[in-house]
Amino acid sequence: MEKVWLSSPHMGEMERKFVAEAFDTNWVSPVGPHIGAFEKELAEYAGIGHCAALSSGTAAIHLALILLGIKGGDEVVCSSFTFSGSCNPIAYVGATPVFVDSEEVTWNMDPVLLEECIKDRLSKTGKKPSAIILVHLYGMPADVEAIMKTARAHSIPVIEDAAEALGSTYGGKALGTFGDLGVYSFNGNKIITTSGGGALISENAEWIAKARFLATQARDPAPHYQHSEIGYNYRLSNICAGIGRGQLMVLDERVHQRRRNFDAYLDGLSDLKGVSFPAEPDSAYANRWLTTILIDPEKAGTNRVEVAAALEKENIESRPLWKPMHLQPVFQSAPAYSRGVSERLFETGLCLPSGSNLPEGDRDRVIRLVRDCWK
Ligand SMILES: *Cc1c(COP(=O)(O)O)cnc(C)c1O
Q: Which atom of ligand 1 is nearest to the CA of 190?
A: 1
The mean per-residue pLDDT over the stretch 126-143 comes to 98
Ligand 1 proximity of 134 Cβ (cutoff 6 Å):
no
Q: What pLDDT digit, counting tens, does each position of 43-96 carry?
A: 999 999 999 999 999 999 999 999 999 999 999 999 999 999 999 999 999 999
Mean pLDDT of the chain: 97
Tell me which of 54, 62, 161 to substitute to probe ligand 1's pocket, judged by most ligand atoms within 8 Å of the beta carbon. 161
> Is the pLDDT confidence value at 299 over 90?
yes
| 13-250 and 252-372 have identical folds | no
> Which pLDDT belongs to residue 1?
82
Q: Which atom of ligand 1 is nearest to the CA of 198?
A: 7
Residue 26 dihedral angles phi and psi, to the nearest 5° = 65, 25
CA 57 to ligand 1 centroid distance, Å = 5
Domain spans, the chain: 13-250, 252-372
CA 85 to ligand 1 centroid distance, Å = 5
The mean per-residue pLDDT over the stretch 267-294 comes to 97
Tell me which of 137, 187, 235 to substitute to probe ligand 1's pocket, judged by most ligand atoms within 8 Å of the beta carbon. 187
Q: What pLDDT digit, counting tens, does each position of 195-223 carry?
A: 999 999 999 999 999 999 999 999 999 99
CA 134 to ligand 1 centroid distance, Å = 13
> Distances from the Cα of 46 to the Cαs of 134, 166, 252, 330, 336, in angstroms?
17, 8, 12, 34, 32
Tell me which of 84, 99, 164, 240 to substitute to probe ligand 1's pocket, judged by most ligand atoms within 8 Å of the beta carbon. 164
Q: 278: pLDDT confidence band, cut at 50, 70 and 90?
A: very high
> Is the pLDDT confidence value at 30 over 90?
no
> Which pLDDT belongs to residue 374?
96
DSSP-assigned letters across all residues of 152-221? HHTT--EEEE-TT-TT-EETTEETTSSSSEEEEE--TTSSS-SSS-EEEEES-HHHHHHHHHHHBTT--S
CA 229 to ligand 1 centroid distance, Å = 26
CA 84 to ligand 1 centroid distance, Å = 8
Are 304 and 292 in contact by the 8 Å Cβ rule? The answer is no
Q: 29: pLDDT confidence band, cut at 50, 70 and 90?
A: confident
> Is the pLDDT confidence value at 283 over 90?
yes
Looking at the chain, the whole-number percentage of residues with pLDDT higher than 90 is 98
> Which pLDDT belongs to residue 44?
98
Q: Classify domain 13-250 by CATH architecture.
A: 3-Layer(aba) Sandwich (3.40)
The CATH superfamily label for domain 252-372 reads Aspartate Aminotransferase, domain 1 (3.90.1150.10)
Report the predicted TM-score, pTM, of the whole model to 2 decimal places: 0.97
